[in-house]
C-alpha cells in the first residue's frame, strides 16, 4: 500500500463472521460484511446504526481485539491485519479507544493514576517515575479533572468523571486516532453534552482523528464531520454530517432521523420509514437487506443487492432508488 498522508485509516472490504449455534445447526452471522471506509486525518467520522448493526465489532477489529475474516486496514502504508502480534501491540498506543461503560472499563482495584498510565506502563514509554507522574497529571488536567484525582479510585467518582478518566487514559500515549464506542450512552443528558464538548476540544487541541460510534444519530450529528450509516454489517450511506442529516438519501437513514426526539411532533421527515424491528441476523436473504422494512422496495430490491455508489460529491448510498 502506498502512503497517503491525509488518510489515517484505509479500510477495504473488511469482514467479520461469527458462528452461532441454533437448533442443532451452526449459522454464520456476518457482523461486518464488506465495509470500506476512508478515515481522514483530523476529521470526526461518525458511525451510526441500530444495536447489532456491526458498529462495535468494527471497532474491535480495527483495534486488533477481534480477528478479521477478510479485507484490509491500511495504516501508515501497511495493512494492520497482516502485522505480527508484536507490531500490532505497538500500534495500540497510536489507535486508542474510549469504551461505553466508564465503570466496567476501569479496574476497581487500581487508582485513577494507575489506570490512566496503563498504556504507558505496558509499552514502557515513561523514562522515569517523575515523567510518569507528570504525564498522568497532564492527561487528567486536559480532561478537566486535575492531578489530585490520580489518588482516587473509580467508586469514588461520578459517571461523568469516570468517562473523563477513560478519555485521559486514551490520550495519554498521544495517539493519532481515538475510537469512541458509545461514549455518552450511559451518561445523563447534561453530562453527555459536557463529554461531547470535551472530545471536540481535545480533537482540535491535540490534532486527533476521531471515530465516534453511536446508535443515536442526533448525538453523532453534533460532533461529526462525516457520518457513515451501518445496517446489517454494511455501509448503506455516507456523507458530510450536515448534508446527510438535512437530506438523507437512504430510507434507513430516514428511519434513524425520524426516531430523534423533537420538541414539535410536526417536525418530521415527510415519508419517513415507520419504525419496525430489524430482521434476524441468522437469516440472510438475497437482494437488499433493508427491503422488508422499506416502502420503496421493488422486485429489483428482492433480486439484486445494491452497491454503495456515488450520488453526489462526497455522498455515497447503497439503494437502487436513492
Each residue of 168-185: pLDDT tens digit?
A: 999 999 999 999 999 998
**9, 77 Cβ separation under 8 angstroms:** no
Q: Above 70 in pLDDT, residue 3? A: no
Who contacts 20 (Cβ-Cβ below 8 Å, separation ≥6)? 26, 27, 28, 29, 282
CB-CB contact of 93 with 125 (8 Å): yes
> In this model, does residue 281 exceed pLDDT 90?
no
pLDDT greater than 50 at residue 268 = no
Task: Tell me if 168 is assigned to some domain.
Answer: no
Q: In this predicted structure, which of 88-97, 138-147, 208-217, 305-314 has the lowest mean pLDDT?
A: 88-97
pTM to 2 decimals?
0.89
Number of domains in the chain: 1
232 conformational bin, left if phi > 0, alpha if psi -120 to 50, beta if neither: left
Least confident among 68-82, 192-206, 277-291: 277-291
- Average per-residue pLDDT for the chain: 89
* 133 assigned to some structural domain: no
- Over the stretch 121-157, which tens digit does the pLDDT of each residue have? 988 899 999 999 999 999 999 999 999 999 999 999 9
Greater pLDDT, 297 or 24: 297
> What's the CA gap between 56 and 139, in Å, rounded?
26
- Check residue 272 and give its pLDDT: 47
Least reliable range by pLDDT among 80-94, 120-134, 142-156, 306-320: 80-94
Is the residue at 283 inside a domain? yes
Q: Does 163 fall in a domain?
A: no
Range with the lowest mean pLDDT among 37-41, 223-227, 255-259?
Answer: 255-259
Q: Concatenated DSSP letters for 246-276? A: HS--SHHHHHHHHTS--SSTT---TTPPPP-
At residue 84 the predicted structure's pLDDT band, cuts being 50, 70 and 90, is confident
Local confidence band at 282 (pLDDT 50, 70, 90 cut-offs): low
- Report if residue 146 sits inside a domain: no
Q: Is residue 148 part of a domain?
A: no
Average pLDDT (22-49) is 92
Whether 196 has a pLDDT exceeding 50, the answer reads: yes
Quote the pLDDT of residue 201. 96
Highest mean pLDDT among 5-9, 101-105, 267-271: 5-9
- Give the range of the structural domain holding residue 204, as residue numbers without chain letter: 7-94+175-317
Residue 18: predicted pLDDT: 92
The region of weakest confidence among 82-96, 137-151, 161-175, 191-205 is 82-96
Provide the pairing of β-strand 209-214 with 44-48: parallel
Residue 247's domain is classified under what CATH number?
Answer: 3.40.50.300
Q: What is the pLDDT of residue 85?
A: 76
Q: Is 129 inside a domain boundary?
A: no
Does 13 fall in a domain? yes
Amino acid at each position: 500500500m502506498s502512503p497517503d498522508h491525509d488518510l489515517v485509516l484505509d479500510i477495504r472490504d473488511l469482514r467479520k463472521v461469527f458462528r452461532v449455534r441454533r437448533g442443532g445447526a451452526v449459522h454464520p452471522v456476518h457482523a461486518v460484511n464488506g465495509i470500506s471506509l476512508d478515515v481522514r486525518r483530523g476529521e470526526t467520522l461518525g458511525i451510526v446504526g441500530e444495536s447489532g448493526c456491526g458498529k462495535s465489532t468494527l471497532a474491535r477489529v480495527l483495534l486488533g481485539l477481534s480477528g478479521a475474516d477478510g479485507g484490509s486496514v491500511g495504516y501508515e502504508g501497511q495493512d494492520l491485519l497482516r502485522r505480527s502480534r508484536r507490531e500490532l501491540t505497538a500500534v495500540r498506543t497510536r489507535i486508542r479507544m474510549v469504551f461505553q461503560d466508564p465503570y466496567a472499563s476501569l479496574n476497581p482495584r487500581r487508582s485513577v493514576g494507575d489506570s490512566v498510565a496503563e498504556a504507558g506502563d505496558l509499552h514502557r514509554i515513561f523514562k522515569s517515575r517523575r515523567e510518569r507522574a507528570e504525564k498522568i497529571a497532564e492527561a487528567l488536567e486536559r480532561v478537566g479533572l486535575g492531578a489530585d484525582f490520580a489518588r482516587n479510585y473509580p467508586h469514588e467518582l461520578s459517571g461523568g468523571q469516570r468517562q473523563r478518566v477513560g478519555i485521559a487514559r486514551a490520550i495519554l500515549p498521544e495517539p493519532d486516532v481515538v475510537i469512541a464506542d458509545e461514549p455518552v450512552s450511559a451518561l445523563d443528558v447534561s453530562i453527555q453534552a459536557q463529554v461531547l464538548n470535551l472530545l471536540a476540544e481535545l480533537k482540535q487541541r491535540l490534532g486527533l482523528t476521531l471515530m465516534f460510534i453511536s446508535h443515536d444519530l442526533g448525538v453523532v450529528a453534533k460532533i461529526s464531520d462525516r457520518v457513515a450509516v451501518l445496517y446489517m454489517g454494511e455501509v448503506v450511506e455516507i456523507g458530510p454530517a450536515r448534508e446527510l442529516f438535512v437530506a438523507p438519501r437512504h430510507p434507513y437513514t430516514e428511519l434513524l432521523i425520524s426516531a430523534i426526539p423533537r420538541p414539535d411532533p410536526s417536525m418530521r421527515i415527510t415519508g419517513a420509514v415507520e419504525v419496525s424491528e430489524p430482521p434476524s441476523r441468522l437469516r440472510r436473504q438475497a437482494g437488499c437487506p433493508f427491503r422488508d422494512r422499506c416502502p420503496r422496495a421493488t422486485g429489483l430490491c428482492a433480486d439484486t443487492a445494491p452497491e454503495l455508489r456515488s450520488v453526489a460529491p462526497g455522498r455515497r448510498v447503497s439503494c437502487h432508488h436513492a
